[in-house]
Amino acid sequence: MPLSSSDRAPLFAEGAAGTLKLAVYLLLASLAMIADYRGHYLARVRELAGTLAGPIYWVASAPVRLVRAGYGAASDRSELRDENQALRERLMLAEARLSRLAAVQDENGRLRELLDARTKLGLKAQLGELIDVDLDPFRHRLLIDLGTEDGLREGQAVMDAHGVLGQVLEVGPERSVLVLITDASHALPVRVVRTGLRTIAYGSGDIGTLKLPHIPFRADVRPGDALVTSGIGGHFPAGLPVGVVREVTPDDVATFALAVATPAAGLARSGEVLVLHDERERISGGGADVGELVGPPEELPVAAPVLPRARGEHARGAQR
Amino acid sequence: MKTTRLPTLIYWGSIVVALVLTLMPLPEGLRAAKPFWLALVLIYWALEAPERISLGRAFALGLVGDLLTGSLLGEQALRLVVLTFIVLRLRSRLRFFPMPQQALAVLALLANDRIVMLMVRSFGESAPIELSHAVGPLVGALLWPWIFLLLDSLRLRTRPSEA
């Protein structure tokens, strides 16, 4: 090991100056973290850096793209034809189901009119592609290629074909960070379909598991029960599939039951996702905008007033 | 002129590679094994070319890492400043350790870094402490000799006439 030119440096490090510098930088880092955590004072910095980070993300995700391209090139015609066939069948099934759903929706709409429900949830979905980078091995976060330029906002629900995936955590101009429902700091209000019990599903930090603590014993939750979003908190639209209960055990002190659920969404880290834009639309009910004259335009369903507070809690995961 | 520029290129190149490796996706089971690449590269340069590494540099690099990985701004900055401070303090001893011992020292540094990370994260969110947190530093220490040899040979090869 040859000596480098730097050996003019003293053998014993200088004392006070180094420690002082350390203290200053530690303080700076702490202040930056507090500023970032408390308010979004540093949003501009993030935005700027986000645009510069594009090439690095591109390079880091290159191997996965390469493998995928290679796979596409290697799979031969007959395989593709089979896959095409299978997809066609699934599409037909889905369409049949959808047309049935349309009839039900129609009926539902009429019934709601009769009940004088003022608003309904109109859902719009936007397709986004995941960028294949690993942000942090101990957090369940993903990067997608949509940002403020595509109309994304913080807190929007994200799902894939099978169920709820997570929500938008940070929005940049071109890219955004999602937090998955399995992230250890995430909490999601859910409803047990069979019994109607409302509870909260916490992320476990493990990609295949959601935890539902504090379920009363008499609530009758069984393995196999389906979970959907309850819509409480106004963050996620109600009724989206979340997962299936896998196991119910008494908790440590045996006062409540602890259920463990398997998420419905494929939480693998690549592919495409749907970002939901929920727009509360009025049911016009034949005549145009009758409701507009009656009440203030902000008259929204019960869930609405909870919205601003719940957003803050969810986004930073301060629920635990 | 050229003699001074090439090592600089390697220095920046190694940092860019570390950033890319940090973001590189791994199969689900291997994710926890991902070492703290930035720290490994930083330790190397702090040991071998300390004129390139200062606490300020470590801080700036950490901020870049934070911005790329979307972690709390300042988290990696704090971790790298702590790490660099220790390395620069013990540099005169660490440099002349035989390789296995040096790898052990790196293990200790990385383990300490993990503790700092968990400490920082425990303020803001629930950060469950699991056994898998120990895997990253272990892998880092195992990789250390190879990183050291690779960077050393690159650096020395590109330092022609003056030696």
Which of B49, B77, B89 is nearest residue A29 as measured by Cβ atoms?
Answer: B77
Strands A119-131 and A272-282: antiparallel
Q: What residue in A sits closest to B98 (Cα-Cα)?
A: A1
Q: Does the distance separating the beta carbons of A26 and B70 come in below 8 Å?
A: no
Q: Does the distance separating the beta carbons of B67 and A53 come in below 8 Å?
A: yes
pLDDT surpasses 90 at A318: no
Expressed in angstroms, the distance from the first to the final Cα of chain A is 52
Give the C-alpha separation, A160 to A154, whole Å: 18
User: According to the model, what pLDDT value does residue B126 have?
Assistant: 67
How does residue A317 score in pLDDT terms, banded at 50, 70 and 90? very low
Q: Does the distance separating the beta carbons of B128 and A205 come in below 8 Å?
A: yes
pTM for the model:
0.71
How does residue A17 score in pLDDT terms, banded at 50, 70 and 90? low
User: According to the model, what pLDDT value does residue A174 have?
Assistant: 82
> Å from A54 to nearest chain B CA?
9
A256 alpha carbon, distance to own chain's centre: 28
A131: which residues sit within 8 A by CB, 6+ positions away? A57, A61, A142, A143, A144, A145, A175
Give the C-alpha separation, A130 to A134, whole Å: 11
> Å from A137 to nearest chain B CA?
5
What are the boundaries of each domain within chain A?
A: 18-52, 63-117, 128-282+299-320
Q: Does the distance separating the beta carbons of A18 and B85 come in below 8 Å?
A: yes
Q: Does the distance separating the beta carbons of A133 and B25 come in below 8 Å?
A: yes
> Å from B16 to nearest chain A CA?
8
Quote ipTM for the complex.
0.77
Q: Does the distance separating the beta carbons of B70 and A177 come in below 8 Å?
A: yes
The H helix count followed by the E strand count for chain A is 7, 12
**Of A27-41, A88-102, A122-136, where does the model show the most confidence?**
A88-102
Contacts of B95 in chain A (CB under 8 A): 1
Q: Does the distance separating the beta carbons of B25 and A185 come in below 8 Å?
A: no
> Å from A189 to nearest chain B CA?
18
User: According to the model, what pLDDT value does residue A303 have?
Assistant: 42
Angstrom CA distances, A157 to A68, A171, A228, A274, A303, stand at 28, 13, 13, 9, 16
Give the C-alpha separation, A29 to B43, whole Å: 20
How many CB pairs below 8 A link A and B? 148
Q: Residue B56 in contact with residue B21, Cβ under 8 Å?
A: no
Q: Does the distance separating the beta carbons of B72 and A33 come in below 8 Å?
A: yes
The string of pLDDT tens digits covering residues A100-140 is 888 888 888 777 777 765 555 556 778 888 887 888 878 88
Which of B63, B70, B82 is nearest residue A135 as measured by Cβ atoms?
Answer: B70
The label of the residue with tokens 């793209």 reads A65
Contacts of A318 in chain B (CB under 8 A): 125
Report the percentage of chain A scoring pLDDT > 70.
77
> Å from B119 to nearest chain A CA?
12
A252: which residues sit within 8 A by CB, 6+ positions away? none
Q: Averaged over B155-163, what is the pLDDT?
A: 65
Domain A128-282+299-320 has CATH 2.40.10.350: yes
Q: Averaged over A94-100, what is the pLDDT?
A: 85
Q: Averaged over B136-145, what is the pLDDT?
A: 91
Give the C-alpha separation, B65 to B49, whole Å: 21
What are the boundaries of each domain within chain B?
A: 2-157
Contacts of B19 in chain A (CB under 8 A): 56
Q: What residue in A sits closest to B56 (Cα-Cα)?
A: A25
User: According to the model, what pLDDT value does residue A10 have?
Assistant: 53
**Of A27-36, A295-304, B139-148, where does the model show the most confidence?**
B139-148
Contacts of A54 in chain B (CB under 8 A): none
Q: Does the distance separating the beta carbons of A25 and B59 come in below 8 Å?
A: yes
The region that residue A196 occupies, defined by phi over 0 for left and psi between -120 and 50 for alpha, beta otherwise, is left
Identify the burial level of A193 via C-beta atoms within 10 angstroms of its C-beta, where 0-12 means exposed, 13-18 middle and 19 or more buried: middle
Give the C-alpha separation, A241 to A159, whole Å: 9
Q: Averaged over B63-70, what is the pLDDT?
A: 86
Angstrom CA distances, B21 to A64, A284, B18, B26, B136, stand at 13, 54, 5, 10, 13
- The H or E element that residue A18 is part of is helix A16-38
Amino acid sitting at position A306: V
